[in-house]
Structure 1
């Protein structure tokens, strides 16, 4: 089983890495022994007794938190509300599956729309899909399926959604435990996908008529941009070797051909990785 404390520290490392990328690298002549001040960290409990919380958004003081079991928690002025989601397919109960990614539409204040990613079962087979939701008086309801039958399996569903600086929707899709297919551009698993907000394929995607933005990923689950607009990603590795990658359109990030410090021509090694579990 994965060491969750190590993963938590690794995610903190990503935040520090993004800060370093924004501010520039330190002087190479500095001595390694020079002391570095530790950032102060303060925490507040905003909600308790959640059921597998997965994704979080905040707008105008309101927190929106998805639970893998299917509800969306809304927290306003310290008060927690459980808002049901009306989805067109039943959520999968497989490990790591359920209601995962969630991001508010840029015009949420006027259209009350958001994007979600969830895993469902159809005739015994699991799939992932990206949908458009709308907040009504009592629930979030599925309005439209934007991308369906993203590969799924027992594990490795991916599921992160984020809207990039250019107003496209980015989607992380796990390899669905079919690791060799992470190298197959016709297979949407093991990829970072990119779409227009209406569900169409952007004209400047790196592969013609394809949602694929980058490939060779195992189970990507974190996306963030620095102040320069550069995209960084985290993904779960095999028995350790969790990665931080800088993502560029069309690049191949190596899974399952390389992990950790391994290198191979035309494959991109991670900026940082967690190494083997202790």
Structure 2
């Protein structure tokens, strides 16, 4: 662990401090965002691409005054559960009034650097089991837990004791991953980082630098590409965005180091190249991104799918990116919205139809908080 932390600290001081997840300085004469890769014929056939140009309209500010918000999970009644990275708490936000009610503090959270209480997700059987899942950094590792949410108890005491379902994900000052989401198959997908130890991404025995696929109990999910392994894809640097399209295809965002941030279409068992490749590569063994950006334009965290496009929140880039899709490829150049208007953008979650929930991340130590930060926005997209 000392070696991992030392490596993470070295990488942080080498210039990986301006994003959240390791995006560092500029890319010299590198061009701006561009789509990459060639679609397979089966991906093009029978699928209509959305318009090349879209739009974003901010409908309202749902809530203000949030402390280091990271994960967001909509409840069945429309209210929102939001995790605080540094406070280690989960709050419930009333969708109509913005009123915040603390469920409780998650025991064992050890916030430092990019670590803390990160992603949250509801059980696919939430209506009957009332389980809330969370990804957090402990004193020794990153782990996934589940907790009973009892609304009948007093505020601050509504979270049951955490049941750890998966542990041993490497932790570091940087690159802790943290996004969790249940897929259409009701399996739990987990985006992890390599904690600054780049060799972990190519080591399929390590859960670092991977997308993991687990049962709700934390076991390797049936049908995973490697026998008895939780690893779904590997060769990642730091995955903080997971989303599925209407045909149940998985997409993931990934922080680059100095040159290219990525949006990837995830294929089970594929190698996404890090640390040998950052962005598009000529190596046939590596799966190329469908779109890439210079690190100052993106530093991507959460993503969501709506209206035929992937919408990607940019931290250092301070903008919301639209990537229109045809199959598993970008059908037009990515388009940026809200550039610099709300500062750093962390999480984007479908809110139904053409609407998204969008959170800012200006109180995370790397932004410039203004009055009301951090906040949740409701936006309409097309």
Q: TM-score, normalised by structure 2?
A: 0.62
Q: Which digits, 9 at most, give the CA deviation of each residue in 1:45-77, with x for residues without a partner?
A: 111111100011112111111111211110124
Does residue 269 (structure 1) correspond to residue 269 (structure 2)? The answer is no
Aligned equivalents of 1:3, 1:120: Cα separation in 2: 22
Cα 1:95/1:201, change in 2 over 3 Å = same
| Correspondence for 1:65 among 77, 82, 91 | 82
1:198 Cα shift?
1.8
Q: Does the Cα contact within 8 Å between 1:244 and 1:270 map onto a contact in 2?
A: yes
1:161, 1:170 within 8 Å by CA — same for their partners in 2? yes
Aligned to 1:29: none
Which of 102, 118, 121 is equivalent to 1:100?
118
2:48 paired residue number: 24
2:67 match: secondary structure:
coil
Q: Counterpart in 2 of 1:163? A: 182
Find the counterpart in structure 1 of residue 351 from structure 2.
none
SS in 2 for 1:181: helix
* Corresponding residue of 2:62: 46
* Superposed displacement of residue 240, structure 1: 4.2
Q: CA deviation at 1:146?
A: 0.5
CA RMSD across the alignment: 2.4
Q: What per-residue deviation string (whole Å, max 9, x for no partner) do you get for residues 83-115 of structure 1?
A: 21342x2x2232111110100112222221111
TM-score, normalization by structure 1: 0.84
Number of paired residues? 252
| Residue in 1 that maps onto 2:274 | 255
SS of residue in 1 equivalent to 2:275: coil
Distance between the aligned counterparts of 1:3 and 1:130, measured in 2? 24
What residue number does 1:210 align with? 229
Q: 1:185·1:215 contact (CA, 8 Å) conserved in 2?
A: yes
Q: Which runs of 4+ in 1 moved over 6 A?
A: none
Indicate the SS of the match to 2:286: coil
Aligned to 1:55, which of 61, 71, 74?
Answer: 71
Q: Does 1:84 align with 2:104?
A: yes
Residue 262 (structure 1) shift = 2.1
Task: Give how far 1:130 is off.
Answer: 0.6
Cα deviation for residue 38 of structure 1 reads: 4.1
